[in-house]
Structure 1
Amino acid sequence: MVQKFSNLKYMPLMVFQVILVVLYFIFVKYSDETGYDVKGFEDTHVMIFVGFGFLMTFLKRYSYSALGFNWFLAALVVQWALLCQSFFNMKDNIIYINKISILEADIMSATVLITFGAVLGVASGLQLLFIGIVETAVGCFNFWIVEHIFKAADVGGSIAIHAYGAYFGLGVSWALKRKKATANVPNVPSVDLNGPSYVSDVTAMIGSLFLWIYWPSFNSALTSSNVEYQRAVVNTYLSLASATVTSFVLSSLLSHHEGKFDMVHIQNSTLAGGVAVGSVCNMHITAGGALTIGIGAGIISVLGYHYLTPKLAKIGIPDTCGVHNLHGMPGVYSGLLTVLFASMATSKEYGSELGHIFEGMHDEKLTAGGQALNQFLALIVTLGIGIVGGAITGLLARIPIFTPLKDSETYDDEVNWELP
């Protein structure tokens, strides 16, 4: 009987897939040729399925799950996100989809994959999928608030995607926290699987490099003009480059092993520049400004991994991949930068672009100060929704029907996969 139940445990996801099919038949139609030439879709697709997937293969015995559940989650969430996002923009109860819709759904799936990184190895497959479905619906609602209520500038999603996904993940992690194992607890592995091997760290670098290469496309994909697009690409690339140099130098500086590099920093903190510049990459931040932002991101991220992650674990908020240091704090940093640059925005500097980049300032509806306040409120609301939403979702995910993992099953592919 137990065996039969185990074989059927993912059937609810097939039921959900069928429900999505029905909803698509009822509500979804093809759009006209609008959006067919949108930039960045293919590159973003690679980031979601290859970059995020391989980045999370660093655990010594969890690579099947890192890649497999990344694929499973993203494929499910893209379908669900397209409906959830488009719900707020229906015309005559019809959702018209185009390449932009798919791109936005792909980007929204990044929130779930960021959260996946926070609970990597400690959440069961059913828990992950439940969390992904709930997080997507809440995330689309938050995105609507950021975009339509506050009209916040967030072209690269550092606020609504990175910060939201990271703090939602930390909320889930807190809710799923496990009691500290004692030496007399049976069935606890004698080998600590919560760590890398030489080979797994190399495969994780594949993910890092794919993300690093394609991040300019991710940040610039939703820009509204060629000039804005080019500026976003340049700023993102420069920020990534300076964050990388900073991460290597600071990693060596903080090393307890004669100035050697820490692979955790190199796999992750090198990417923090892409997150930090995301919300401001299409603004007039100057090339020097982009480099400075990247340096700040590298410092924040490496220091976070070195000092903050161990402290979070001690107070019961484990963060397997350190998403707080790659997505959370750099996302908040980017959100605060939008406050600064919005407060300095003028029609003289931006010209006709002003209303496209800062939608709230279109036709002078908001002053620069008003736009800056909206940017700050969008960040605060996002953090609140992410943390509270994640904590509640995590508590619900502890229900036995979602088959929470035992201590002996964490960080181990054998729970979910037929191993060779």
Structure 2
Amino acid sequence: MKWPSKKGEMCGIVVIQFMMAALLMLCACYPLVHDDHAFEILVGIALPSFQEVHLALLAGFALLGTFARRYMYSSLGLNMLLASLLLQWALLCNGFYNILPEAGGRFVVTLASLVRADLTVCTVLISAGLLLGTLTPLQMVVMGIIETAVSTATQRIGTRVIKAADAGGSLYVHMFGAAFGLAAGITVRHGDATAQRRSDTTDSFAMLGTVFLWCLWPTMNAATSVGMAEVSRCMVNTYLAMLSSTVIAFLCSAIFSRRTRFSLVQVQNASLAGGVAVGASCDMVLHPAGAIGVGLVSGFVSSMSYTYLQLFPSYDGQAR
């Protein structure tokens, strides 16, 4: 399939934006009951989560994707474009499962629904990080539209039918995003062979993104939890798991590095592995030692995967 030129791609993105606006005009509305006390409670709970999850989405994931030297600046811009456009689509996809008859067959848009949309778009940004230098902006948008629809449907089936608990999004956000990105990369089978080349500057920017996400990850895992006890457990378990995964990431990078020194490239993702791994059970009553154990195992597995899996040839016949 031959894709349009850059001007044609921009026209396509504009058309998609107008379609999103039309769908939101027809299908979305604000809460019908205006209770100032209820809104005060909702804003007090949802506003901090919305601010921190949004910061992680636009700053953390954007900086984390700057590791590729050739696509450092385009990664920052493409991240904002994808987030701005797909957040609207995520609102629609999540809202279609929460249509209220009393609202005239529409769904309600609140701060809580914006938080859920942010977490849904995180799935797409994880996949997009695997496809730098492979897809054009319009192709990224089309992939994101498809992935968002499939992701929300999968989450609906998992939570309502299978009853699989996933408070922090380990299954429905991180694993789904990684699997979808790998499948898309294998399907496309072409791209820039130099897309993954790094430099000290890009690694420093990517490490800054890791620091952002490291600080905001406990709030991301607790964003959809209900009740102060669950929120507290989510944040404590996530924090403890990330402490241990960070330590083991630095140790593994020094032990298995060819020059026996810390490798920022390896630490960038392995230090976050604890927060990802503990997310599915972060609202449960884990012993502090259990959370630390999850972080140790996940940090070790992530470090070893980065060190040795890249030795295998990729789908284009080149070693990663």
1:40 aligns with 2:42: no
1:6 match:
6
1:62 aligns with 2:71: yes
Q: Which has the higher contact order (CA 8 A, sep 6+)?
A: 1
Match of 1:199 among 191, 198, 201: 201
In structure 2, do the counterparts of structure 1 residues 267 and 5 end up closer, same or farther at CA, with 3 Å as the change threshold? closer
Letter in 1 for 2:255: L
> In structure 2, how many angstroms separate the alpha carbons of the residues matched to 1:80 and 1:129?
11
2:62 match:
53
> In structure 1, how many angstroms separate the alpha carbons of the residues matched to 2:218 and 2:154?
24
Match of 1:211 among 202, 209, 213: 213
1:120 match:
132
Letter in 2 for 1:173: G
1:308 aligns with 2:309: yes
CA RMSD, Structure 1 to Structure 2 (Å):
2.0
> In structure 1, how many angstroms separate the alpha carbons of the residues matched to 2:160 and 2:228?
24
> In structure 1, how many angstroms separate the alpha carbons of the residues matched to 2:311 and 2:18?
43
CA contact (8 A) 1:52 1:207 kept: yes
**5+ residue gaps in structure 2?**
34-38
Post-superposition offset of 1:317: 9.1
In structure 2, do the counterparts of structure 1 residues 318 and 116 end up closer, same or farther at CA, with 3 Å as the change threshold? farther
Post-superposition offset of 1:5: 4.7
2:30 match:
30
SS at match of 1:293: helix
Aligned residues: 305
> In structure 1, how many angstroms separate the alpha carbons of the residues matched to 2:138 and 2:317?
21
Post-superposition offset of 1:285: 1.1
Larger radius of gyration: 1
Post-superposition offset of 1:178: 2.8
Post-superposition offset of 1:316: 4.5
**5+ residue gaps in structure 1?**
180-187, 321-420
In structure 2, do the counterparts of structure 1 residues 193 and 148 end up closer, same or farther at CA, with 3 Å as the change threshold? closer
Match of 1:111 among 101, 111, 123: 123
> In structure 2, how many angstroms separate the alpha carbons of the residues matched to 1:319 and 1:167?
20
1:275 match:
276
> In structure 2, how many angstroms separate the alpha carbons of the residues matched to 1:65 and 1:292?
38
1:82 match:
91
Post-superposition offset of 1:21: 1.1
Post-superposition offset of 1:27: 1.3
Letter in 2 for 1:29: C
> In structure 1, how many angstroms separate the alpha carbons of the residues matched to 2:234 and 2:317?
34
Match of 2:175 among 153, 158, 163: 163
1:130 match:
142
CA contact (8 A) 2:242 2:272 kept: yes
Identity of aligned residues (%): 35
In structure 2, do the counterparts of structure 1 residues 285 and 42 end up closer, same or farther at CA, with 3 Å as the change threshold? same
In structure 2, do the counterparts of structure 1 residues 9 and 315 end up closer, same or farther at CA, with 3 Å as the change threshold? closer
Post-superposition offset of 1:60: 1.4
Per-residue CA deviations over 1:300-353 (Å, capped at 9, x if unaligned) read 100110112332x43449998xxxxxxxxxxxxxxxxxxxxxxxxxxxxxxxxx
1:391 match:
none
CA contact (8 A) 1:173 1:318 kept: no
SS at match of 1:121: coil
Post-superposition offset of 1:227: 1.0
> In structure 2, how many angstroms separate the alpha carbons of the residues matched to 1:319 and 1:64?
26
In structure 2, do the counterparts of structure 1 residues 71 and 318 end up closer, same or farther at CA, with 3 Å as the change threshold? farther
Written as runs of structure 1 = structure 2, the 5 A alignment for 1:334-413 is none
2:36 match:
none
* Greater than 6 Å deviation, 4+ residue runs: 317-320
> In structure 2, how many angstroms separate the alpha carbons of the residues matched to 1:106 and 1:68?
17
SS at match of 1:35: helix
